Amino acid sequence: MIDDRVSKIIKPAVLAAKAYHVPDSSGLIKLDAMENPYSWPEEIKIEWSQQLQQAELNRYPDASLSELRSKLTQALNLPEKTAMMFGNGSDELIQIILMALNKTSNVVMAPEPSFVMYRLLSSMMELDFVGVPLNEDFSLNLPAMLESIAKTRPAVIFIAWPNNPTGNAFEQDSLEEIINAAPGLVVIDEAYHAFAQKSMMSCLHKYPNVLLMRTLSKLGLAGLRLGMLFGASEWISELDKLRLPYNIGSLNQLSANFIVQNISLLEQQAERIRDDREKLYDRLSNIAGVEAWKSEANFILFRVSNPGADKVHKELIKQNILIKNLQGAHPLLENCLRVTVGTPEENELFLSTLNSILLSS
Ligand SMILES: Cc1ncc(COP(=O)(O)O)c(C=O)c1O
């Protein structure tokens, strides 16, 4: 029997929400979640595991993450006086930003389609989410954004740059117009920075209402869960009050410190992925019945017409390949799928399998 206290106690927005679905990927070639397909050379793994032995797991972790803070300031060449905070993935940082909003300023905006967590977390927190549709070619509809900003006065605007799932990075001038028009915060989410090789970091200097978010997930440490938020200390010190004091465990801190010192390894992997992305894009666009979009991230969005995305997705799984099906996610994503750039062998297998599915339909 269903306990009716559940529906009385849990808020309607949570009851109505669909849980973020993570598909079972065991035994499959995993090209659905923008992970880096490469691991580390054996000697680096040994060095890393030696570092981990320093962890004092009987103690709470360093709540201020002081070592990581100073290592990142150097490694990322952060503008002077930039404050930073860390999240258990950037998902947690998005949640913290939304949790901080004043009850009277509860509109959250993002162009759509974009990263689903902006909408999902906003609605679970009973905030008003305004999604402004992109143009059909997935470029930013600047007039619509500006009109919507003037009308709804959003407290926060999230911009994924490059955007997920479309892979493009919106025009920088348009983003600055949005920042100028915004009555509140603009969060530039640079999750795919390593693959775009450009940043809006300089906006932190120029505009007091900008925060910049990054993650180590796409660069090669999805299992670590480390998101970073940068900006003026006026904002960061308020948001940091909502962060649970020990949200980043000791093993994660040690691992992050270690990898920041070896960041060139991940940067070389990102370079390989960028090269393979271009090859994958060329090959995909040449398959009859496929429309692919150029990407500045580590994935490619593409559309299939016959058979539709649902069928292609299912057939790929039957042949042990998991990609992301975006059918139904947004009207602009009709029959669209998203494939993460894998190793050259994985990409090759994906292309030949897709080709044979399309040929046999
Ligand atoms: C634009 C964007 N931001 C943030 C995230 C979440 O990253 P993390 O693994 O740091 O929570 C994703 C993940 O797909 C993303 O696409």
Q: What is the pTM of this model?
A: 0.96
Do residues 90 and 226 make contact, with C-beta atoms less than 8 angstroms apart?
A: no
Q: How far, in Å, from the CA of 222 to the mean position of ligand 1?
A: 9
User: What single-letter amino acid sits at 358?
Assistant: L
Say yes or no to pLDDT of 304 above 90.
Answer: yes
Do residues 68 and 86 make contact, with C-beta atoms less than 8 angstroms apart?
A: yes
Q: Which stretch of 16-25, 118-127, 159-168, 351-360 has the lowest confidence by average pLDDT? A: 16-25
- The token pair at 153 is 């006065």
Under the banding of pLDDT at 50, 70 and 90, the label for residue 80 is confident
Q: Is the CB of 168 inside a 6 Å radius of any atom of ligand 1?
A: no
Q: Is the CB of 115 inside a 6 Å radius of any atom of ligand 1?
A: yes
| Cα–Cα dist 252/349, whole Å | 34
Q: How far, in Å, from the CA of 191 to the mean position of ligand 1?
A: 6
Q: How far, in Å, from the CA of 256 to the mean position of ligand 1?
A: 17
| Cα–Cα dist 84/64, whole Å | 10
- The token pair at 33 is 């979640």
Choose which residue among 30, 90, 211, 324 to substitute to test ligand 1 binding: the one with the highest number of ligand atoms within 8 A of its C-beta.
90
Pick from 89, 40, 54, 77: which is nearest to 262 by CA?
A: 40
Q: Which stretch of 70-74, 105-109, 302-306 has the lowest confidence by average pLDDT? A: 70-74
Q: How many CB atoms lie within 10 A of CB 289?
A: 15
Do residues 48 and 60 make contact, with C-beta atoms less than 8 angstroms apart?
A: no
Q: Is the CB of 34 inside a 6 Å radius of any atom of ligand 1?
A: yes
Q: How far, in Å, from the CA of 288 to the mean position of ligand 1?
A: 32
Q: Is the CB of 92 inside a 6 Å radius of any atom of ligand 1?
A: no
Q: What value, to the nearest 5°, has the Cα angle with vertex 217 and ends 212 and 220?
A: 125
Look at the domain 5-41+265-359 and name its fold.
Aspartate Aminotransferase, domain 1 (3.90.1150)
Say yes or no to pLDDT of 2 above 80.
Answer: no
| Cα–Cα dist 112/331, whole Å | 10
Q: Is the CB of 36 inside a 6 Å radius of any atom of ligand 1?
A: no
Minimal-distance CA residue to ligand 1 atom 7: 90
Q: Is the CB of 191 inside a 6 Å radius of any atom of ligand 1?
A: yes
C-alpha dihedral, 228 to 225 to 162 to 305, nearest 10°: -160
Q: How far, in Å, from the CA of 284 to the mean position of ligand 1?
A: 25
| Cα–Cα dist 236/239, whole Å | 5
pLDDT computed for residue 73 by the predictor: 87
Domain 5-41+265-359 matches domain 55-262 at the CATH topology level: no
Residue spans per domain, the chain: 5-41+265-359, 55-262
Q: How far, in Å, from the CA of 190 to the mean position of ligand 1?
A: 9
Q: Is the CB of 113 inside a 6 Å radius of any atom of ligand 1?
A: no
Q: Give the mean pLDDT of the chain.
A: 95
Q: How far, in Å, from the CA of 53 to the mean position of ligand 1?
A: 29
What's the pLDDT tens digit per position in 249-277? Answer: 999 999 999 999 999 999 999 999 999 99
CA distances to 66, 72, 251, 319, 348 from 261, rounded to whole Å, are 15, 9, 16, 39, 33
Buried b (16+ CB within 10 A) or exposed e, 331-340: ebbebbbbbb
Do residues 212 and 76 make contact, with C-beta atoms less than 8 angstroms apart?
A: no
Q: Is the CB of 215 inside a 6 Å radius of any atom of ligand 1?
A: yes
Q: Is the CB of 90 inside a 6 Å radius of any atom of ligand 1?
A: yes
| Cα–Cα dist 48/92, whole Å | 26
Residue 320, judged by CB atoms within 10 A of its CB (0-12, 13-18, 19+), counts as: exposed
Q: Is the CB of 160 inside a 6 Å radius of any atom of ligand 1?
A: yes
E strand or H helix at 174: helix 172-181
pLDDT computed for residue 305 by the predictor: 87
Q: What is the mean pLDDT of residues 316-338?
A: 97
Q: Is the CB of 350 inside a 6 Å radius of any atom of ligand 1?
A: no
Q: Is the CB of 325 inside a 6 Å radius of any atom of ligand 1?
A: no
What's the pLDDT tens digit per position in 90-121? Answer: 999 999 999 999 988 899 999 999 999 999 99
- The token pair at 55 is 């962890």
E strand or H helix at 336: strand 336-340
| Cα–Cα dist 102/237, whole Å | 16
Between residues 61 and 20, the one the model is more confident about: 61
| Cα–Cα dist 340/270, whole Å | 13
The class that CATH gives domain 55-262 is alpha beta
Q: Is the CB of 217 inside a 6 Å radius of any atom of ligand 1?
A: yes
Prior bond of 165 cis (ω within 30°) = yes
Q: How many C-alpha atoms does 55 have within 13 Å on its Cβ side?
A: 20
